[in-house]
Amino acid sequence: MASESTVFRASTTAPVNIAVIKYWGKRDASLNLPTNSSLSVTLSQRSLRTLTTASCSAVYPAADSLTLNGKPQDIQSSKRTLACLSNLRSLRQAVEAADLTLPKLSTLPLRIVSENNFPTAAGLASSAAGFAALVRAVADLYQLPQSPRELSRIARQGSGSACRSLMGGYVAWRSGELEDGSDSLAEEVAPASHWPEMRALILVVSAEKKDVPSTEGMQTTVATSSLFATRAASVVPERMDAIETAIRDRDFPAFAEITMRDSNSFHATCLDSWPPIFYMNDVSRAAVRLVHDINRAVGRTVCAYTFDAGPNAVIYYLDEVSELVAGTFKAILGGTTGGWEGPFGQRLEKVTAPGVSLDQLDSRAVTVLKDGVARVILTSVGEGPVSVTEHLVSEKGEIIIN
């Protein structure tokens, strides 16, 4: 039985997702409603995850609080966080109204503590995992009946792409049409188990100051690019259909070509913005070149690049061609680049020679990549958020610093 000093807790981990059809452009900035649908691959939490504990208690000070990676956040100045918490509280109030025996958690202050197992600065879409974990953890704390799809509407208001991190596998975010955003939701296109062989090699490019934050960047693109409307209105809808078919059919060459073309299209609209926005640099270009060279040398499409709002390359490939793809990048990047040892590194332990002979690759691109990649993250498609018993808030309500 709960007493006045009870600390209610729920903890979850949530994954990062990397879009293959890009979200870029809001049709409503405050609701985070996108100009076009998008689709992503959820990455394994064995490599990258956010762990979040949501707790509430009558013993806490009156204001909700949020601690990220050990640092208290100014929650009141984050409209996005406030919107998520307000939505979740409303849903809890409905639950409490339907069953008066339940504790009135909606009336208690929240203490939320969150930690990433990867550096925020690496440019790895940490806000997506962060808001997905926050929404999932509070929903669990509140024992909300809503499905991940329904919760995605809330997470979306925290960070657009966060809605896609509430599910595993291959996830579409339908742009929706309604003004209130109630139909702008994420849904699973296929679970990770449908196509579990998908691998992702992330090339973390040496830190350079990010050009333009993505919220600002996408607003600039929508307002100024004369090519963007064509992308949103016709290019992306066709690609959404095509890539869902490719995923259903486990057709990697089709999946790969659409992924690469959509990344290029997104960056093209950035370049066409005013003033122009550049996220890719010469190291990114070298990765593009090498992916095309590897595919050409192998004689079929075995790998695909995609770039978010930063220079890091994410390279998708299937486990069966690990030696050809990841093995070649390992041979290029050599022993000085860390990250090959992770949970998916086993496959490459015995690799001693590149899968594709380096003399079939552009030598300049090889040099530029070798000099420009700081570390790699070798990972895989994975599951959605998972409830865990590891808490970042003690039974007494104290924040646990790992």
Least distance in angstroms from the C-beta of 21 to a copy of itself: 13
Based on the shown chain and the rule CB under 8 A, indicate whether residue 242 belongs to the binding site for a copy of itself. no
Least distance in angstroms from the C-beta of 164 to a copy of itself: 23
- Please identify, using beta-carbon distances, which residue of 15 and 372 lies nearer to a copy of itself: 372
Binding residue for a copy of itself, selected from 30, 143, 206, 226, defined by CB under 8 A: 226
Binding residue for a copy of itself, selected from 274, 387, 395, 401, defined by CB under 8 A: 274
Least distance in angstroms from the C-beta of 286 to a copy of itself: 10
Based on the shown chain and the rule CB under 8 A, indicate whether residue 367 belongs to the binding site for a copy of itself. no
Based on the shown chain and the rule CB under 8 A, indicate whether residue 147 belongs to the binding site for a copy of itself. no
Question: How many residues sit close enough to a copy of itself to count as binding (CB under 8 A)?
Answer: 30
Least distance in angstroms from the C-beta of 275 to a copy of itself: 5
- Please identify, using beta-carbon distances, which residue of 272 and 319 lies nearer to a copy of itself: 272
Q: Interacting stretch for a copy of itself, rule CB under 8 A, among 4-12, 24-32, 55-63, 225-233?
A: 225-233
Binding residue for a copy of itself, selected from 165, 269, 306, 322, defined by CB under 8 A: 269
Site for a copy of itself in 180-219 (CB under 8 A): 208-209
Least distance in angstroms from the C-beta of 216 to a copy of itself: 15
Based on the shown chain and the rule CB under 8 A, indicate whether residue 227 belongs to the binding site for a copy of itself. yes
- Please identify, using beta-carbon distances, which residue of 147 and 274 lies nearer to a copy of itself: 274
Three-class SS of the chain: CCCCCCEEEEEEEECCEEEEECCCCEEECCCCEECCCEEEEEECCCCCCEEEEEEEECCCCCCCEEEECCEEECHHHCHHHHHHHHHHHHHHHHHHHHCCCCCCHHHCCEEEEEEECCCHHHCCCHHHHHHHHHHHHHHHHCCCCCCHHHHHHHHHHHCHHHHHHHCCCEEEECCCCCCCCCCCCEEEEECHHHCCCEEEEEEEECCCCCCCCHHHHHHHHHHHCCCHHHHHHHHHHHHHHHHHHHHHCCCHHHHHHHHHHHHHHHHHHHHCCCCCCCCCCHHHHHHHHHHHHHHHHHCCCCEEEECCCCCCEEEEEEHHHCCCCHHHHHHHHHHHCECCCCCCCHHHCCCCCCCCCHHHCCHHHHHHHHHHEEEEEEEEECCCCEEECCCCECCCCCECCC
Based on the shown chain and the rule CB under 8 A, indicate whether residue 38 belongs to the binding site for a copy of itself. no
Q: Are 139 and 131 in contact (CB under 8 A)?
A: no
- Please identify, using beta-carbon distances, which residue of 286 and 324 lies nearer to a copy of itself: 286
- Report the C-alpha gap between 241 and 227 in whole angstroms: 21
Site for a copy of itself in 345-364 (CB under 8 A): 364
Based on the shown chain and the rule CB under 8 A, indicate whether residue 261 belongs to the binding site for a copy of itself. yes
Binding residue for a copy of itself, selected from 111, 153, 231, 391, defined by CB under 8 A: 231
Catalog residues that contact a copy of itself under the rule CB under 8 A. 208-209, 226-227, 229-231, 234-235, 257, 260-261, 264-265, 267-269, 271-276, 278, 281-282, 285, 288, 292, 364
